[in-house]
Structure 1
Amino acid sequence: MQFVTQSQPSMLPPIPRPPHDPTSWLLNGYVGFLPATLDQIQYLPSTKSLVLPFAPESRRSLTEAGGSFGGLTTPGNVAIGPDGSIYLLDTDNAQLRRFDSCDCSFRDVPCFGGAGAGPRQLASPHGIGICSGNLFVCDTGNHRLSVFALHGFAFRAHWQPPNAVYQGPNPVLANIWEPFDLAFDRYGKVYVTDSANGAVHIFSAAGQWQKVLTGLGPVTWITTDCRDSIFVVVTGPPDTVRLLNPDGTSVVIESGPEQLAPQFPRVRFLIDAEGLLHLGELCVESTSKTSGGASALPGDKPGCTGTSSGTSFPSIKCPPQLPQERGLFDLQGNPINRCSAPNTVSYLTSGTYISIALDSELYRCQWHRVILRGEIPAGTRIVAFTYTAEAVITDEQIRNIADDEWDTNQTGGEMKAGEWDCLVRSGGGRFLWLRLEFQGNGKATPRVDSIEIEFPRISLRRYLPAVFGEEPTSADFTDRFLSLFDTTLRSIETEVDYQAKFYDPLSTPSRRDPKTGIDFLSWLGSWIGVTLDRNWSEAKRRRFLKEAGRLFDLRGTLEGLRRELLLLLEIDPDCCKDNKPRDRCVPLPSNCAPIKPARSYWEPPPLILEHFKLRRWLFLGAGRIGDQAVLWGKRIANRSQLNDGAQLGRSQLRTIQDAFRDPFHYYAHKFTVFVPACYRATEANRKSLENLLRNSRPAATVAQIEYVEPCFRIGFQSMIGFDSVIGRYPGGVTLNETPLGRASVLTKPPHKQGGPSLEIGNQSRIGATTKLD
């Protein structure tokens, strides 16, 4: 007797095994640094890294004179045109000026401005702006917002609040408005500050006054960011910047320009803290005329020709390391001659970061090491301290812990390959607090992009006899000694653990080696004999190589070639999941049947036509005359016959004696591929298609390519009224008059088409077939 036992899955939990790699806490700008204390430490706006802040004397302010908001935007009296032109309003002379990059100077706009109360004159102007092809000027002294066309500077209108805001027992505005500065949002609305009433007026893009936000105080400059948030400067003391809410309330902004920089578009030129415009990079050398003719200088722009060099910059003596700066102007458009100012940016010399309690969820956990990633420039350093405990203590208690109670105390002076690490010297404890001391020389700051804290400590000591860890002191020494080898060995093991990513087409590197010119993705395809076209996009190459293994069994077949064409044309058969027409208003209850996975009911086009399907020859005694029978003769066989008039260049000399099967061979071993006509537009796509057909078709077949394009396109292949008319559906046929064919349609009798069922003279005759009662 033979007993057969069937293995059943075990219901017991898996046997616990010791981990080979520690887990870790990751702290960075994306998941958060989880700070409990940030003392003189700030986040770098671009990467959210931890750095030392600027010293007070080097820190930009949002309330700088000129309305540039610390260099985040152009000054209030400067505007950028849609073509990149720079316009400046000389508030002292009430004159509009335009920057000429060829002469590197500001030139006055003719017939514009001047002091006065005329339509085109200004009185104590301040802010300007450009939007929708119009130039807006805050004519403060004349109590109006002047609007000019940017093309030709034709006067358009004067915008003002309605008279109703000054009337009534409780007028909205107590004083005549004095527009100071303006800003725009993405919808073209205009926001104008009113310094006389401490308000902000809102106009529509067409110039209609909509509402006013009051109670802000003496507002001056205004700007908007990429999110249409409105910032205004309120003069003090002290001067503050407020963020306006849609309901009219405002919030004081405590952060500096560095924190708000990601919210604003980048300005083309530099505006320093003194309000000076650095336009040297926008200046273009003009073409100088010599005896040999005009010669273009490097960097010259079209149209920059002439003999003058523009505004004369008197040469001054400057040190070689600080040459004379060109293209420096004040807010009135006057050139400033001085030597290049050295970079005097300074940082604070110390700062402290303390994390919150990091929980390992392990009793008496021995934390392993701290890994810092970032940069430590010369003259700076970072000192790492740790503290562990079995219970959570408050942040205030952590800040009051004496320095001698903190452990580890390791100093990082440089980061090799952007990384520095140290062992945690604190004892076992479930919770850990990390303290980093940033120290610098004032000229640079250390930067921490991320912090990784590994736990628990899994040392190579577990492979040694127990005597090496018999007492805590010996165990600590052994762990620290073996960590020198553990880090190197663990890095190699990590490469082996993640080596599978190189064998997956979706994750393998595609960057080309500069020495060999071969990328790993193409090299991976060569393992299985697949050649990837370098003209393909990276996504197409990855997808083609991913599906190559499934297509090997179909190579040389109709279905295999069709799937390769779908990959080449980027047609996804599963693009439309669950697109079956629904016959129920609500889905079936979940207890009726198991839920079926969604699938696509859309079928991609066949793309390939085998010519043997077109074979419709008529054979004597084996066919019927009709659409499915085609007469054939010598044109199909086309063989030379003795004494039958063979012609040079037309008759074929064939050595294969198979004349009886010539009608079958005419369509045999041929197929046509139909692809969109857009694939013929570029040479790269056309060659990719030809290469794929050459490599994937069966060797004994002949492939033809047919580019499919619309057969009837109004405006391209035909013109309505010229060679095309829009006709109606044929109304029927008349016996003995209309020949049957494609232009004739048999219809129903008139009485069945919805028309009159009785027509005298056509369907009936009175007295013969019809009687009137």
Structure 2
Amino acid sequence: MTCTPHPATFRLLDAYVGWDEPTGGEPGVDGIVGFDDPAGLRLAHRGADPEGPTRDQLLPWFPDPRLAPGCGPCGWYLLVPGERRLLRRDRCSGAFTPLWPPDCDPGPLREPVSVAARGHRLAVVESDRVLVWRREGEQLVGVIRAERPRWAALGPGDDILVACQGGTDLRRYDTTGGFRGVLRTGAPGEVIGLRTGPERTVWLLTDDGGRLGIHRGGHGRPFRPVTVDELAAALPPSTLTSADEDGFCLSEKGPEGPETSCFTWQGLPRDPAPPATGAYVTSGSYLTTLIDSGISRCRWHRVRVDAELPTGTAAAVEIVVSEDGRYEESDWQVPVPGATDFLVDQPPGRFLRLRLRLSGDGGSTPVVRRIRLDFPRATSADLLPPAFREDPAADDFTERFLSLFDATLAQLDRVIERYPSLLDPAGVPDQALPWLAGLLGLSFEAGWDARTRRALLAAAPELYRRRGTPWALREAVRIVFGVTPVVDELATDRRWAWLRAAQRGDGPAQGLGAVRLFGRSASRFRVGGTALGAAPLRAFGTPDSDPFTAHAHRFRLLLPAGSADAAALRRLVERQAPAHTVGSVRTGGAGFVVGSRSTVGVDTAFVPLPAPVLGGAHPVRLNRDGVLRPGPRGLRRGVGVGVVSAVGIQTHMS
């Protein structure tokens, strides 16, 4: 569909191919990071660790030492070091009140440093000891003596971890203060955050000369650095969103959506603080090396930038082309602000150099994922007669003008090229699955997840090829409900009159099998062939068709109890069963199903028998529906096994 004579080649700048950073000490990067990050280039963080996380990003997992999340999403403890008291947030009013009432107040704390909580246990770290309470401060159970303790974390059971000032090793204690040993972490710097997680894991936040690091380990497992994404995947964040010199804010679920509550460090309500600014530097630049096209006097064609630009941020790309790598500052081509797709308006040259400038307001950053450079210039003007290209100025205008239409046609070409991928169940977005199912005549239930829908689409060709067979029905149920059913064809359940082969003498002979010729409920009365009263009278149809009308073209689907929703299963069976058949669904329950075929594991359950009681409202009748068994104290004397027992003769009732 494209009008260009041949597709243009291109050069990508991204984390996979490379950003062509300057080498040999040549200045080229200032305030931009992420050259090895697939997410793209971005402005650097302020401070000594421009690529690492900031303290504000980690607040939901490692709160301020004066705060500790307690039971429930609204449970928080607040330590007020200046007043040497501990507050707890009331779950009903949302206000911070003293933890201990006046008549139970143990008195002011002694130089408190931090607070920690887990479940109903509470710990307060002081300058030379750690106080441990149970039942949310009602019972003081231990006093741990330590040298310059700074942080504490409550582990499972009665395990308590204490981090001292100036190091990263952890000391283990029990609730009563008994020393259990030292946990060597090997992490550099100093611990500024400590907490425990599931499976007895321990998480550290360290500060190594201004560089923040997250480490994960535990007792018997080494500590290793982890990312913020790994932390977020393993531990749920708290409701703490910000903390500064004036106070902190909590974002909680309210009746009409998220609500933000802010407090001072004395526990008093205050107005929400303005959004934090200054996390990123406000500007940055990046200059590539000379990008070689390999073509002498190459006519570079187009520059496309794949970027995400939040409000208050901008990204600008400048280029310069030269044949020998030399250029002047005035040779740079500066596109209009905000342009992310523009044509190269430079003289022909083998080398191109690109300069990227990022800017922001300090609170957010632009992200540049990829830059594409197309060369050499190939447009639909190459298909015009030579007479249209005699004037160089007019030829340049014609090429740039036709490039607008070529770009639109190229987008259509890409859509057409990608169309086969829309027919791949594993590659289309979740929103396109119902559309793809409509092409195949499939219908989805509202409760089916994307994985089930993709599996059905992938199996659709084989299901259609073998539709109407027991295999197709079993496979459809297995894909949707994750369990393989038993397809019971009712025509094979009941044997009408049949002849079987038997070896008699020197040759086979046919004889009647040991079957009932006509059942008591499914046959009709025949004069001279059925005893009066043994079969009902039926005066319609043909007797010879009874075996077919009773069970032919009928089947039953058997599944274990609780394996599938019965209504959804019936709808699936109706869609997958042949039109001339009648299907029913049976799921397992408690006990045997009396009067029909029972299959062990499907509609059979091995359950204890009810206790036999002689007399009462529902008496047990001996030899009818009662099973005698030992009493609650065990077997003493009873019915002898292996002999004939009769009540009152060989049986002792005790």
Q: With the length of structure 2 as denominator, give the TM-score of the two structures.
A: 0.69
In structure 2, what is the equivalent of residue 179 of structure 1?
149
Of 548, 555, 562, the residue aligned with 1:671 is 555
The alpha-carbon deviation at position 384 of structure 1 amounts to: 1.6
In structure 1, what is the equivalent of residue 624 of structure 2?
none
Residues 1:718 and 2:602 are matched in the alignment: no
The alpha-carbon deviation at position 624 of structure 1 amounts to: 4.3
Letter in 2 for 1:194: C
In structure 1, what is the equivalent of residue 497 of structure 2?
617
Question: What CA RMSD, in Å, does the superposition of the two structures yield over aligned residues?
Answer: 5.4
Of 637, 651, 656, the residue aligned with 2:537 is 651
In structure 2, what is the equivalent of residue 149 of structure 1?
134
Of 500, 514, 518, the residue aligned with 1:632 is 518
Is contact 2:203-2:214 (8 Å) kept?
Answer: yes
Distance in 2 between residues matched to 1:244 and 1:634, nearest whole Å? 77
The alpha-carbon deviation at position 40 of structure 1 amounts to: 2.5
Of 689, 692, 709, the residue aligned with 2:569 is 689
Of 453, 460, 463, the residue aligned with 2:373 is 453
In structure 1, what is the equivalent of residue 306 of structure 2?
373
The alpha-carbon deviation at position 97 of structure 1 amounts to: 1.2
Is contact 1:138-1:146 (8 Å) kept?
Answer: yes
Q: Tell me the alpha carbon deviations over residues 52-71 of structure 1, each in whole angstroms, 9 at most, x when there is no partner.
A: 46789xx9x9999xx99878
In structure 1, what is the equivalent of residue 460 of structure 2?
548
Q: Tell me the alpha carbon deviations over residues 139-196 of structure 1, each in whole angstroms, 9 at most, x when there is no partner.
A: 21xx2222221445312222235xxxxxxxxxxxxxxx2223335789997553434x
Letter in 2 for 1:134: R
Residues 1:345 and 2:345 are matched in the alignment: no
Give the 3-state SS of the residue equivalent to 1:637 in structure 2. coil
In structure 1, what is the equivalent of residue 451 of structure 2?
539
Letter in 2 for 1:124: E
Is contact 1:328-1:336 (8 Å) kept?
Answer: yes
Residues 1:701 and 2:581 are matched in the alignment: yes
Instruction: State how 1:281-430 maps to structure 2 within 5 Å.
Output: 328-331=262-265, 333-335=266-268, 341-343=273-275, 345=277, 350-356=283-289, 366-376=299-309, 381-388=314-321, 402-406=328-332, 408-413=333-338, 420-426=340-346
Q: In 2 relative to 1, CA 502–160 (structure 1 residues): closer, same or farther, beyond 3 Å? A: same
Is contact 2:60-2:239 (8 Å) kept?
Answer: no
Q: In 2 relative to 1, CA 562–326 (structure 1 residues): closer, same or farther, beyond 3 Å? A: closer
The alpha-carbon deviation at position 127 of structure 1 amounts to: 1.2
Give the 3-state SS of the residue equivalent to 1:678 in structure 2. coil
Q: In 2 relative to 1, CA 265–632 (structure 1 residues): closer, same or farther, beyond 3 Å? A: closer
Distance in 1 between residues matched to 2:7 and 2:341, nearest whole Å? 20
In structure 2, what is the equivalent of residue 314 of structure 1?
none
In structure 1, what is the equivalent of residue 144 of structure 2?
159
Give the 3-state SS of the residue equivalent to 2:239 in structure 1. coil
Is contact 2:470-2:487 (8 Å) kept?
Answer: no
Q: In 2 relative to 1, CA 482–437 (structure 1 residues): closer, same or farther, beyond 3 Å? A: same
Q: Tell me the alpha carbon deviations over residues 530-581 of structure 1, each in whole angstroms, 9 at most, x when there is no partner.
A: 444444333333333443333444344444444444444446xxxxxxxxxx
Distance in 2 between residues matched to 1:214 and 1:633, nearest whole Å? 79
Q: In 2 relative to 1, CA 505–202 (structure 1 residues): closer, same or farther, beyond 3 Å? A: same
Instruction: State how 1:93-172 maps to structure 2 within 5 Å.
Output: 93-110=83-100, 111-115=104-108, 122-131=109-118, 133-140=120-127, 143-160=128-145
Distance in 1 between residues matched to 2:396 and 2:140, nearest whole Å? 83
In structure 1, what is the equivalent of residue 435 of structure 2?
520
Is contact 1:278-1:329 (8 Å) kept?
Answer: yes
Is contact 1:525-1:531 (8 Å) kept?
Answer: no
Letter in 1 for 2:86: L
Is contact 1:63-1:233 (8 Å) kept?
Answer: no
Of 12, 31, 34, the residue aligned with 1:40 is 31
Distance in 1 between residues matched to 2:316 and 2:170, nearest whole Å? 53
The alpha-carbon deviation at position 88 of structure 1 amounts to: 1.4
Instruction: State how 1:194-273 maps to structure 2 within 5 Å.
Output: 194-195=164-165, 200-203=169-172, 208-211=179-182, 221-223=192-194, 228=202, 230-232=204-206, 266-273=237-244
Give the 3-state SS of the residue equivalent to 2:572 in structure 1. helix
Range 497-506 or range 37-46, more displaced: 37-46
The alpha-carbon deviation at position 476 of structure 1 amounts to: 3.9
In structure 2, what is the equivalent of residue 487 of structure 1?
407
Q: In 2 relative to 1, CA 266–449 (structure 1 residues): closer, same or farther, beyond 3 Å? A: farther
Letter in 1 for 2:546: D
The alpha-carbon deviation at position 694 of structure 1 amounts to: 2.6
The alpha-carbon deviation at position 421 of structure 1 amounts to: 0.5
| Percent identity of equivalent pairs | 24
Is contact 2:62-2:193 (8 Å) kept?
Answer: no
The alpha-carbon deviation at position 609 of structure 1 amounts to: 2.9
Is contact 1:68-1:76 (8 Å) kept?
Answer: no
Q: Tell me the alpha carbon deviations over residues 310-331 of structure 1, each in whole angstroms, 9 at most, x when there is no partner.
A: xxxxxxxxxxxxxxx9954333
Residues 1:498 and 2:485 are matched in the alignment: no
- What is the total number of aligned residue pairs between the two structures? 575
Distance in 1 between residues matched to 2:230 and 2:277, nearest whole Å? 17
Give the 3-state SS of the residue equivalent to 1:353 in structure 2. strand
The alpha-carbon deviation at position 436 of structure 1 amounts to: 1.5
Letter in 2 for 1:80: P
Letter in 1 for 2:317: A
Q: In 2 relative to 1, CA 132–373 (structure 1 residues): closer, same or farther, beyond 3 Å? A: same
Q: Tell me the alpha carbon deviations over residues 25-56 of structure 1, each in whole angstroms, 9 at most, x when there is no partner.
A: 1526x877565433133559999454446789
Letter in 1 for 2:133: F
Distance in 2 between residues matched to 1:20 and 1:632, nearest whole Å? 80
The alpha-carbon deviation at position 404 of structure 1 amounts to: 2.5
Distance in 2 between residues matched to 1:257 and 1:404, nearest whole Å? 44
Distance in 2 between residues matched to 1:212 and 1:634, nearest whole Å? 79
The alpha-carbon deviation at position 368 of structure 1 amounts to: 2.9
Q: Tell me the alpha carbon deviations over residues 505-528 of structure 1, each in whole angstroms, 9 at most, x when there is no partner.
A: 44455528xxxxx941343233xx
More strand by share: 2
Q: In 2 relative to 1, CA 430–262 (structure 1 residues): closer, same or farther, beyond 3 Å? A: farther
The alpha-carbon deviation at position 201 of structure 1 amounts to: 4.2
Letter in 2 for 1:329: F
Q: Tell me the alpha carbon deviations over residues 253-273 of structure 1, each in whole angstroms, 9 at most, x when there is no partner.
A: 9xx999999998644133333
Give the 3-state SS of the residue equivalent to 1:718 in structure 2. coil
In structure 2, what is the equivalent of residue 755 of structure 1?
none
In structure 2, what is the equivalent of residue 746 of structure 1?
none
Q: In 2 relative to 1, CA 77–608 (structure 1 residues): closer, same or farther, beyond 3 Å? A: same
Q: In 2 relative to 1, CA 267–365 (structure 1 residues): closer, same or farther, beyond 3 Å? A: farther
Q: In 2 relative to 1, CA 363–273 (structure 1 residues): closer, same or farther, beyond 3 Å? A: farther
Distance in 1 between residues matched to 2:189 and 2:460, nearest whole Å? 71
In structure 2, what is the equivalent of residue 757 of structure 1?
none
Is contact 2:161-2:173 (8 Å) kept?
Answer: no
- Structure 2 residue runs of 5 or longer lacking an equivalent are 23-27, 219-224, 502-508, 592-599, 613-626, 636-640, 646-654
Q: Tell me the alpha carbon deviations over residues 598-641 of structure 1, each in whole angstroms, 9 at most, x when there is no partner.
A: xxxxxx77634352464253579996466x53343664432587
Letter in 2 for 1:502: L
Is contact 2:559-2:588 (8 Å) kept?
Answer: yes
Distance in 2 between residues matched to 1:194 and 1:460, nearest whole Å? 72
Is contact 2:206-2:213 (8 Å) kept?
Answer: yes
Instruction: State how 1:463-482 maps to structure 2 within 5 Å.
Output: 463-468=383-388, 476-482=396-402
Is contact 1:551-1:560 (8 Å) kept?
Answer: yes
Distance in 1 between residues matched to 2:188 and 2:7, nearest whole Å? 65
